[in-house]
Amino acid sequence: MFRLTQVTDPHFRSFAGARATDFLGKRFFGALNLVLNRRRKHRMEYLCSLLNDLRVESPDHLAVTGDLSNVSLVGEWSAAIRWLEATGLPAETTTVIPGNHDAYVSQVTRSGVFERIFAPYQTAEFRIEDEPYPFARLRG
């Protein structure tokens, strides 16, 4: 038996390392919405509970399918990396793909920063030429 665990839309929060200029335009409104509304929906204590469950259950593969961030900030992804590392699951058994909040602003998509940060979780046996997505990872 192969046990796959999927986690989607964790929406990690952290403005660490962000500059005022990072919030010009769309990110300003997204961050404001987060502070005023969405923080009640995306509660970090749920992620702590989930982390504990993952440590106990130790699935064969973990798929984190998008929206690791709220407004595509490196600080949010750094929090996600710390959480992934805390699961104790190796990168070879964990796959991370971005969601629309991870591509919140076009400069993030163009720069490939998400792909660089999560590269250990995006190794693949199959890719379409040099495109980052879609990709396939084989498991048994």
pLDDT in tens, 86-133: 999 999 999 999 999 999 999 999 999 999 999 999 999 999 988 999
Q: Which domain holds residue 36?
A: 4-136
Instruction: Please check whether residue 132 is in contact with residue 111, taking contact to mean a CB–CB distance below 8 angstroms.
Output: no
What's the pLDDT tens digit per position in 10-40? Answer: 999 989 999 999 888 889 888 888 888 777 6
Q: How far apart are CA 12 and CA 81, in angstroms?
A: 10
What does pTM read for this prediction? 0.90
| CA-closest candidate to residue 65, choices 139, 133, 138, 140 | 133
Residue 92 belongs to a domain with what CATH number?
Answer: 3.60.21
- The structural domain count of the chain equals 1
Instruction: Please check whether residue 3 is in contact with residue 56, taking contact to mean a CB–CB distance below 8 angstroms.
Output: no
CA atoms within 13 A on the CB side of 86: 13
Element (H, E) at 6: strand 4-7
